[in-house]
């Protein structure tokens, strides 16, 4: 692994983008002028705000008392026996609202309040980010509008009901494949039309600078806790490997964040291959994509030779996205992390296995990360952490299907 890393790159630059938001060749802020003031306001203020002592106090307090952090690092004994290694699950599924998404939404709503915003918009795929956004809006008494692909509203209907109960307006996105990409387009259009009172809580490490860095920083609490918890349980903060699923890549960014500069730690991302990387029905962006611009950043992108974005497919609504965060594109480009493809079928098997061996029903997204264990040859002395990004209640329609 170590020998594959491009030594010319300063690893810290893969964690901290430059002033224009670039991680190596990826990132930036490719936005039309209509969005420029919004994005610029955020860019010029986010670091000063989120690094202030007052913000840290309030953010960490809410993570602890409201979201239920730290989440456990659980030694999965029976799963470890099955694979002949030492497997730990970072239990983000035990966060309030059932996924890691709440880490980001708590941080961003505090940021929005500092910026004097009164209205919140968000996009959502699986509905986890939408629920996490609706939740913090209820908590702070702010108006909340969530854009969700019409197809996703069908396949993740329990989350639609949750958002509505929390007081959010859920607006169906009816363009394209009616999934996450289309919901993001609609959210961006809303932001163009509301340039002063609205903050857009992007749910992943995507979008124009500073979003990838902002979201990665807010999610980095995952690996911050992992280091401390591993030290307690194994005597070392440093595992052999960290595994996480990658759609836009926010839980992976959080799980990798404090290990990027630890060269010995192998980082693996699981992309959704859908029916197979070369089936034409896939969301394996790093495997298939080329550098391109979508939603304001230059990253790997599934696209035609003519530069049109290809409609993705995955059984998992949260991974059904044709792009990926620029940090991941850079981690892959410089060989610091490896991204492997996992099919619908492999993810389903991994989900059912975890349910039977450990009594934990994972989200379809997280099941993609678990499925990597079939591919990667870890041994008895290795310590492997899998980021269990969310719980599977929302996916019972798929899991329970005959």
User: Which one of 52, 175, 236, 279 is in contact with another protein (CB under 8 A)?
Assistant: 175
User: Which one of 203, 207, 249, 296 is in contact with another protein (CB under 8 A)?
Assistant: 296
57 versus 174: smaller Cβ distance to another protein: 174
Check binding of 294 to another protein (CB under 8 A).
yes
The helix or strand, by DSSP H or E, that contains position 26, with its residue range, turns out to be strand 26-27
Whether 101 is catalytic: yes
* Alpha-helix runs per DSSP H in 334-388: 344-358, 364-371
By the 8 A CB rule, do 73 and 91 touch?
yes
Whether 82 is catalytic: no
Smallest distance from another protein to CB 18, Å:
12
- Mask of contacts with another protein, 196-225, x by CB under 8 A? x-----------------------------
Check binding of 37 to another protein (CB under 8 A).
yes
Region binding another protein by CB under 8 A among candidate stretches 217-225, 238-246, 299-307, 359-367: 299-307
107 versus 322: smaller Cβ distance to another protein: 322
Gap between the Cα atoms of 108 and 49, Å rounded: 11
Check binding of 192 to another protein (CB under 8 A).
yes
By the 8 A CB rule, do 293 and 255 touch?
no
Tell me the three-class secondary structure of 139-181, residue by residue.
HHCCEEEEEEEHHHHHHCHHHHHHHHHCCCEEEEECCCCCCHH
Catalytic pick among 80, 117, 123, 225? 123
Q: List the beta bridge partners of residue 298.
A: 27, 293
Check binding of 397 to another protein (CB under 8 A).
no
Check binding of 115 to another protein (CB under 8 A).
no
Check binding of 32 to another protein (CB under 8 A).
yes
User: Which one of 2, 3, 4, 33 is in contact with another protein (CB under 8 A)?
Assistant: 33
Check binding of 329 to another protein (CB under 8 A).
no
Check binding of 45 to another protein (CB under 8 A).
no
92 versus 190: smaller Cβ distance to another protein: 190
Catalytic pick among 90, 223, 389, 394? 389
Smallest distance from another protein to CB 129, Å:
19
**Using only C-alpha atoms, what is the Rg of the chain?**
19
Whether 204 is catalytic: no
Gap between the Cα atoms of 369 and 113, Å rounded: 35
Gap between the Cα atoms of 35 and 348, Å rounded: 40
User: Which one of 172, 176, 276, 335 is in contact with another protein (CB under 8 A)?
Assistant: 176
Quick check: helix, strand or coil at residue 75? Answer: strand
By the 8 A CB rule, do 181 and 206 touch?
no
By the 8 A CB rule, do 14 and 260 touch?
yes
Crossing angle between the packed helical segments 364-371 and 344-358, to the nearest 10 degrees: 90
Gap between the Cα atoms of 383 and 241, Å rounded: 7
* Alpha-helix runs per DSSP H in 156-299: 157-165, 180-193, 211-219, 221-234, 250-256, 285-288
Catalytic pick among 90, 101, 117, 394? 101
Active-site residues: which are they? 101, 123, 389
The footprint of another protein (CB under 8 A) covers 20, 28-34, 36-37, 175-176, 181, 185, 188-189, 192-196, 290, 292-296, 301, 303, 305-309
């Amino acid at each position: 692994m170590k020998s594959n890393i491009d030594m010319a790159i300063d690893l810290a630059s893969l964690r901290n983008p430059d002033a224009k938001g670039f991680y190596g060749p990826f990132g930036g802020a490719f936005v039309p002028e209509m969005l420029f003031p919004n994005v610029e306001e955020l860019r010029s203020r986010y670091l000063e705000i989120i690094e202030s002592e007052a913000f840290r106090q309030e953010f960490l307090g809410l993570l602890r008392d409201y979201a239920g952090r730290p989440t456990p690092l659980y030694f999965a004994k029976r799963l470890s026996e099955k694979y002949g290694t030492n497997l730990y699950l970072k239990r983000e599924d035990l966060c309030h609202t059932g996924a890691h998404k709440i880490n980001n939404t708590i941080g961003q709503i505090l940021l929005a309040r500092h910026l004097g915003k009164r209205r919140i918009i968000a996009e959502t795929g699986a509905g986890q980010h939408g629920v996490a956004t609706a939740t913090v809006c209820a908590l702070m008494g702010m108006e909340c509008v969530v854009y969700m692909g019409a197809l996703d509203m069908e396949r993740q209907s329990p989350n639609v009901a949750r958002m509505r109960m929390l007081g959010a307006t859920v607006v169906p996105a009816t363009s394209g494949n009616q999934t996450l990409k289309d919901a993001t387009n609609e959210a961006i259009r809303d932001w163009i039309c509301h340039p002063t009172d609205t903050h857009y809580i992007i749910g992943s490490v995507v979008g124009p600078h500073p979003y990838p860095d902002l979201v990665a920083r807010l999610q980095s609490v995952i690996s911050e806790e992992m280091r401390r918890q591993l030290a307690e349980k194994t005597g070392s903060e440093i595992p052999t490997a960290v595994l996480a699923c990658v759609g836009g890549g926010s839980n992976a960014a959080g799980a990798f964040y404090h290990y990027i500069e630890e060269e010995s730690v192998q980082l693996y991302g699981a992309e959704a291959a859908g029916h197979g990387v070369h089936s034409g029905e896939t969301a394996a962006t790093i495997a298939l994509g080329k550098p391109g611009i979508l939603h304001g950043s230059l990253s790997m992108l599934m696209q035609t030779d003519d530069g049109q974005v290809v409609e993705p497919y995955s059984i998992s609504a949260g991974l059904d996205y044709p792009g990926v965060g620029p940090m991941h594109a850079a981690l892959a480009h410089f060989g610091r992390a490896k991204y492997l493809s996992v099919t619908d079928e492999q993810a389903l098997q991994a989900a059912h296995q975890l349910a039977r061996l450990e009594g934990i029903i994972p989200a379809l997204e997280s099941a993609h990360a678990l499925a990597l264990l079939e591919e990667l040859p870890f041994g008895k002395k290795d310590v492997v952490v899998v980021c269990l990004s969310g719980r599977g209640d929302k996916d019972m329609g798929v899991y329970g299907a005959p």
